[in-house]
Amino acid sequence: MRKTLIVYYSWSGNTRTVAKLIQEMLGCDLVELQPEEPYPNSYEATVEQAKREIRTGHKPTLRTKIEHIELYDVIFVGSPNWWGTIAPPVMSFLKQYDLSGKIVIPFCTHGGGGKQRVIETIKSVCPNSKVLKEFVTYGGRNKDLKEKISIWLSEIEKQVQGLKHQ
Ligand SMILES: Cc1cc2nc3c(=O)[nH]c(=O)nc-3n(C[C@H](O)[C@H](O)[C@H](O)COP(=O)(O)O)c2cc1C
């Protein structure tokens, strides 16, 4: 693969599990997004805050700084499904960094609602990126999670190889 980075946000660890499995399999760089102000520890309070932020389009300031994003040409972007869409720190990342011309590969974990608008939101915020097939899973403890990620990654690697020759 080309120079690859995984960027994700995770509140309760599921998206982190997926991100780390991808990293193990590809051996690429990994960045966890941290907002300047962490979300509350309470689920209910986080759900309420997220609802407000998503409704108003609030993009939290990120504590995480990514050096030399221009060096990467493949970026995996991971988010939990929050209210049917990406978590606000992921929106902050997508708005703050220019991913034009890069290959973007979304992944998402959810609590039963599936991907809902997660992938289409990433696509709409990255109109100048080539967005490849996503990986979507319920929670982060699925027993065949590793195998599913591995199958998905081999498809993705073929697509990326194909793009190289365009
Ligand atoms: C603020 C908030 C909003 C959520 N909204 C949804 C939702 O709309 N649909 C859904 O399927 N799951 C929803 N969930 C569940 C998470 O998507 C699910 O637990 C996910 O795997 C959490 O990822 P994480 O452990 O990386 O934070 C929500 C969870 C939180 C905290």
Contact between 103 and 163 under an 8 Å Cβ cutoff? The reply is: yes
Q: Where are the alpha helices (DSSP H) in 40-117?
A: 43-56, 88-96
Contact between 62 and 88 under an 8 Å Cβ cutoff? The reply is: no
Residues with C-beta less than 6 Å from any ligand 1 atom: 10-16, 43, 46-47, 50, 80-84, 109-113, 139-140
At residue 2, the pLDDT reads 76
Q: Model-level pTM?
A: 0.97
Domain 4-164 in CATH: superfamily?
Answer: Flavodoxin domain (3.40.50.360)
Q: What percent of the chain has pLDDT over 70?
A: 98
Mean pLDDT of 121-138: 98
pLDDT, tens digit, 9 for 90 and up, residues 1-12: 579 999 999 999
The alpha carbon of 70 and the centre of ligand 1 are apart by a number of angstroms equal to 30
The alpha carbon of 24 and the centre of ligand 1 are apart by a number of angstroms equal to 24
Q: Which of 29-33, 77-81, 130-134, 158-162 has the lowest mean pLDDT?
A: 158-162
Sequence-ordered list of residues with C-beta below 8 angstroms from that of 79, at least 6 positions apart, any chain: 8, 9, 15, 86, 87, 90, 106, 108, 118, 122
Best of 12, 32, 43 to mutate for ligand 1, by most ligand atoms within 8 A of CB? 12
The ligand 1 atom nearest the CA atom of 9: 26
